[in-house]
Amino acid sequence: MNANELVAWEGAEEWEPLAWELCADEHGEESCNDLIWDMGVIPEPWGERWQKYEDEAKRMIAMVRKCTHPVKELTDEEIAGAVARGWCSEKNSMKTMDSDLSWAIVEELKVILRKAQKK
């Protein structure tokens, strides 16, 4: 599985897919569901192997959040302004572009940008 395929399963906490990947990287994916036993007086199941990576996964997520800055979501006006600046640039200043076409470009850009910001 590559980084683009790392997707949380339904109902999962955000750390769980990362914990699974850490386990799979270290022990192989087939061993991630192995039971881990608490070896007290009476041995009891503690959980599955991948769950042992909870603390490390949470720590990694916290470090990434600390070291990265969220991408600001652009407003419709900012996107339209960028289209207008491109339209009015020196290279394009002699070209004709109608407002319907410029707003169609803005709408297409909004779709692409919103998808990119969700990733």
What integer pLDDT is reported at residue 119 of this predicted model? 59
> Would you place residue 4 in the very low, low, confident or very high pLDDT band (cuts 50, 70, 90)?
very low
Q: Are residues 84 and 114 in the same domain?
A: yes
pLDDT digits (tens, 9 = 90+) for 54-100: 999 999 998 988 888 776 778 888 888 888 888 888 888 788 878 88
How many domains is the chain built from?
Answer: 2
Based on the fold, state whether residues 55 and 86 are members of the same structural domain: no
Which tens digit of pLDDT belongs to each residue from 19-67?
999 999 999 999 999 999 888 888 888 899 999 999 999 999 989 888 8
Q: Which two tokens stand for residue 16?
A: 């769980």
Q: List, as one string, the DSSP characters of 13-74.
A: -THHHHHHHHHHHHH-GGGTT-EEEE-SSS-EEEEEGGGGGHHHHHHHHHHHHHH--PPPPP
Task: Examine the domain organization and report whether 105 and 87 are in the same domain.
Answer: yes
Is the domain of 47 the same as that of 89?
Answer: no
Q: Are residues 58 and 91 in the same domain?
A: no
Same domain, residue pair 11 and 62: yes
Residue-number span of the structural domain to which 49 is assigned: 3-67
pTM (predicted TM-score): 0.51
Same domain, yes or no, for 62 and 80?
Answer: no
d(CA 21, CA 9): 13
- Asked whether residue 94 falls in the same domain as residue 60, the answer is no
